[in-house]
């Protein structure tokens, strides 16, 4: 597709297929091939490709809409979708000639990406580097045509992470993905042993967490809030779906010792109302972050580094709240939802797993945010 017009409608048209294949994808421990092909055909992975290469450069609230739509059908597929979309944006950290090299041959990339700089080390060699490392949680590796690997150059100081662009056949993929949630992502380990990476396939500058020093829309999106937003969207879709399943269950379930469905009893009604309100509140907060990031990137507002740190903590709270919604729904749903093939069980497994992502570590992000607030306060009263 050559235009973003109707993009959300095209994605929503695929939701029945995503839902139909969700259980099978979990059983096979990888994204469904037909679903990935359908998503590719929709044009969704062009969303953050630069406009000069036929990309859409969509606003981030549309990003939220798309991710939620897919995640309501399958949280693992929603996770793959948002990450594939965002990883095309990450290519903006590479030299213009590299972007030209890639996007002149294909409209978008399917690429896993690692953001842990301690996983890889690059040693200078000739006109490039030899990259060695071991990266876990390679979301998107099953259908990848490129791989984005984090690491640092041995001759640079620690704490200056860069990204290295390599082909999947240059690395070893280890199928270690035996986990209790997000199973359908197929997020396997990636290993590089002295893989040669030309200089042009290394990011121009360290990934410091600030916006890239460009004045175009994609270049002004702050890095770490964008990464957090990408990973948080599926939790909102999962919470919405859990509430909908609970609403349906209330109309059918007759609790033991009663003669009326749970929908006629006050406790079920109250639980449903609170679950819906909490899911909507989490979504509202996430959308407010998306709008603020878009406004900043479009030049209509300015976000300080403090604002960006606080956004990351806010997003982590959104994911925690979505996990609580799913838990509360299950607590009120009786024993039948604990069968492993029940959709609510898959949602619970997926949300629990995604909430363990490092960007949602409330202690870590809370400490960073609190420290920044204390330091700002000390500066104010000096």
pLDDT for 211 equals: 44
Cα angle: 304, vertex 308, 314; to 5 degrees: 140
SS3 222: coil
**Ranges of H-type helices in 197-265:** 223-252
Give CA–CA dist 289/235, Å, rounded: 15
Give CA–CA dist 49/91, Å, rounded: 8
Closest by CA position to 243, among listed 381, 344, 361:
344
Class of domain 218-380: mainly alpha
Query: Are 117-201 and 218-380 in the same CATH fold?
Result: no
pLDDT for 260 equals: 75
Express each pLDDT in 112-122 by its tens digit. 988 776 789 99
Q: Which residues pair with 123 in a beta bridge?
A: 130
Establish how many alpha carbons lie within 13 A of residue 169's alpha carbon, considering only the half-sphere containing its beta carbon.
1
Q: φ, ψ for residue 145 (rounded to 5)?
A: -115, -10
The average confidence (pLDDT) of the chain is 92
CATH architecture of structural domain 7-103: Orthogonal Bundle (1.10)
Residue 180 host element (H or E): none
Q: Which residue has the tokens 């029945």?
A: 16
**Ranges of H-type helices in 179-304:** 223-252, 266-297
Establish how many alpha carbons lie within 13 A of residue 97's alpha carbon, considering only the half-sphere containing its beta carbon.
6
Here the tokens at position 85 are 């979309």
Relative to beta strand 120-125, strand 172-174 is unpaired
H and E: helices and strands count for the chain: 11, 6
Q: List the strands of the sheet with 120-125, edge to edge.
A: 162-166, 147-153, 120-125, 128-138, 188-198, 172-174
Torsion angle of the four alpha carbons 134, 137, 139, 140, in this order, in degrees rounded to the nearest 10: 40
Q: Does 257 have pLDDT greater than 70?
A: no
- Provide the residue ranges of all domains of the chain, joining segments of one domain with +: 7-103, 117-201, 218-380
Q: Does 205 have pLDDT greater than 90?
A: no
Closest by CA position to 68, among listed 309, 244, 225:
244
Task: Quote the CATH superfamily of domain 117-201.
Answer: Butyryl-CoA Dehydrogenase, subunit A, domain 2 (2.40.110.10)
Here the tokens at position 137 are 């949680």
Using 50, 70 and 90 to split pLDDT, how confident is the model at 208?
Answer: low
Q: What is the mean predicted confidence (pLDDT) over 59-81? A: 98
Here the tokens at position 369 are 């945010």
SS3 144: coil
Q: Which residue has the tokens 């903590």?
A: 313
Q: What is the mean predicted confidence (pLDDT) over 11-27? A: 98
Using 50, 70 and 90 to split pLDDT, how confident is the model at 214?
Answer: low
Closest by CA position to 354, among listed 230, 268, 256, 253:
230
pLDDT for 254 equals: 72
Q: Does 206 have pLDDT greater than 70?
A: no
Q: Does 207 have pLDDT greater than 90?
A: no
pLDDT for 204 equals: 73
Express each pLDDT in 277-318 by its tens digit. 999 999 999 999 999 999 999 998 899 999 999 999 999 999
Q: Does 50 have pLDDT greater than 50?
A: yes
pLDDT for 210 equals: 47
Residues 6+ apart with CB under 8 A from 59: 290, 294, 298
Q: What is the mean predicted confidence (pLDDT) over 182-210? A: 87
Gap between the terminal Cα atoms of the chain? 57
Closest by CA position to 88, among listed 164, 138, 148:
148
Residues 6+ apart with CB under 8 A from 1: 7, 10, 41, 42, 43, 46
Q: What is the mean predicted confidence (pLDDT) over 321-350? A: 94
Here the tokens at position 203 are 């990011």
């Amino acid at each position: 597709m050559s235009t973003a017009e109707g993009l959300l409608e095209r994605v929503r048209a695929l939701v029945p297929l995503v839902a139909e294949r969700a259980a099978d994808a979990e059983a096979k421990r990888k994204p469904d091939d037909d679903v990935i092909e359908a998503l590719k055909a929709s044009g969704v992975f062009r969303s953050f490709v630069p406009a000069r290469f036929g990309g859409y450069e969509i606003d981030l609230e549309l990003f939220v809409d798309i991710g939620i739509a897919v995640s309501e059908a399958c949280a693992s597929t929603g996770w793959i979708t948002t990450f594939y979309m965002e990883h095309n944006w990450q290519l903006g950290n590479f030299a213009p000639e590299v972007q030209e090299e890639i996007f002149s041959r294909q409209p978008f990339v399917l690429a896993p990406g690692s953001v842990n700089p301690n996983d890889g080390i690059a040693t200078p060699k000739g006109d490039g580097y030899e990259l060695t490392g071991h990266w876990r949680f390679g979301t998107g590796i099953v259908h990848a045509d490129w791989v984005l690997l984090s690491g640092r150059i041995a001759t640079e100081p620690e704490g200056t992470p860069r990204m290295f662009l390599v082909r999947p056949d240059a690395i070893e993929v280890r199928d270690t993905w035996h986990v209790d949630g997000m199973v359908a992502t197929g997020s396997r380990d990636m290993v590089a042993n002295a893989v040669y990476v030309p200089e042009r396939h290394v990011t121009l500058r360290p990934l410091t967490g600030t916006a890239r020093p460009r004045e175009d829309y994609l270049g002004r999106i702050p890095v770490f809030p964008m990464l957090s937003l990408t990973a948080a969207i599926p939790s909102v879709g999962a919470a919405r779906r859990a509430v909908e399943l609970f609403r349906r269950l209330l109309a059918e379930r007759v609790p033991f010792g009663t003669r009326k469905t749970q929908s006629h009893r006050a406790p079920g009604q109250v639980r449903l109302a609170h679950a819906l309100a909490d899911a909507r509140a989490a979504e509202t907060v996430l959308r407010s972050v998306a709008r603020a990031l878009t406004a900043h990137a479009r030049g209509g507002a300015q976000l300080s580094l403090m604002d960006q740190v606080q956004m990351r903590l806010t997003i982590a709270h959104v994911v925690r709240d979505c996990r609580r919604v799913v838990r509360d729904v299950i607590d009120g749903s009786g024993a039948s939802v604990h069968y492993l093939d029940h959709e609510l069980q898959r949602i619970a497994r997926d949300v629990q797993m995604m909430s363990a992502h490092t960007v949602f570590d409330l202690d870590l992000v809370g400490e960073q945010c609190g420290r920044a607030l204390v330091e700002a306060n000390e500066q104010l009263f000096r």
